[in-house]
A and B are shown apart, each in its own frame.
Chain A
Amino acid sequence: MKKMIVLFTSLLILSAFLGVMALTFTFGAPKMTDMDDYFLRFGQEQTGTNNQCTSVTFDFRGFDTLGESTVLFCAVIGVALIFRKMQAGEEYEDE
């Protein structure tokens, strides 16, 4: 019974949220289009890529991809640190 109430309430909140979103914003008609128009008009000539997503991620927003690569590198370093080979005097801490 309690589970049903929780489920019903969360569904209600989710549908209200999505309904407001769907009624407020119309699909395919964004309010600000200056940046999109610039990318679509000049991106092909300025970066030489036919794929505009790649031209944005690797050229116009190159710093984003740099941060993303650094995050992946740090994640791998963290995994390597957790699963590293233990030294002789080093022990797993139990509990």
Chain B
Amino acid sequence: MSRIVRTAADIIYPFILIFGLYVVAHGHLTPGGGFQGGAVIATGGALVIVAYSYAEVREWLSKNVLMGQEVIGLVGFIGVALIAFAFGQVFFFNYLNASGSLFGIPVPYGINAGELNTGGFVPLMNFSVGCEVWGGLTLVILYMLSGLEKEGC
């Protein structure tokens, strides 16, 4: 693409990244969550892939790193849910809620201002799902692009 598009992509990409991470981090307070935030970040990756050629992008966005990110996301999701067994609870029990530790401030019933340090293990789940969706969707675009490259289109 032209220099204008590349410069615009360079400027916009960090903001897309920050907005996506914001949506992931505030998933338990505002509309959004892990999946939506990860999709937002993946659109940033798609923007960079469109603005630059595949040969250049291949050096920045490593397929192995993205695949590892996806695996870490899924394994982390299951692992966070499995830790509940250590507390003598059932699978997917919210053991961190109202515990006073990380993300453990109790939330009263009714309208309140919202505190980032609440939600039990829901923010951890959001982070792992966001990590997985980020890696997965970017990886799909990269793989399709590499397939096109091979055919000579």
Using CB atoms and an 8 Å cutoff, list the residues of chain A in contact with chain B: 41-42, 44-51, 53-55, 57-59, 62-63, 65-66, 68-70, 72-73, 75-76, 79-80, 82-83
Give the Cβ gap from A41 to chain B, nearest Cβ, in Å: 7
The count of residues in chain B whose C-beta lies closer than 8 Å to any C-beta of chain A is: 45
The 3 A-B residue pairs with the shortest CB-CB distance, nearest first, are A83-B147, A62-B92, A49-B28
Give the Cβ gap from B30 to chain A, nearest Cβ, in Å: 6
Contact yes or no, A50 B112, CB < 8 A: yes
Q: Mark B84-118, 1 if CB is under 8 A from A, else 0.
A: 00000000101001100001111111101010001
Contact yes or no, A79 B30, CB < 8 A: no
Q: A47 CA to B139 CA in the complex, in Å? A: 33
Q: A73 CA to B140 CA in the complex, in Å? A: 11
Contact yes or no, A54 B122, CB < 8 A: yes
Cβ contacts A to B, 20 pairs, < 8 Å: A46-B94, A46-B97, A47-B94, A47-B119, A47-B120, A48-B104, A49-B29, A50-B29, A51-B33, A53-B31, A54-B28, A58-B125, A62-B125, A69-B73, A73-B70, A80-B67, A82-B143, A83-B143, A83-B144, A83-B147
Question: Of A42, A45, A58, A79, which one neighbours B33 at CB under 8 angstroms?
Answer: A58
Chain A positions within 8 Å of B103 at CB level? 48
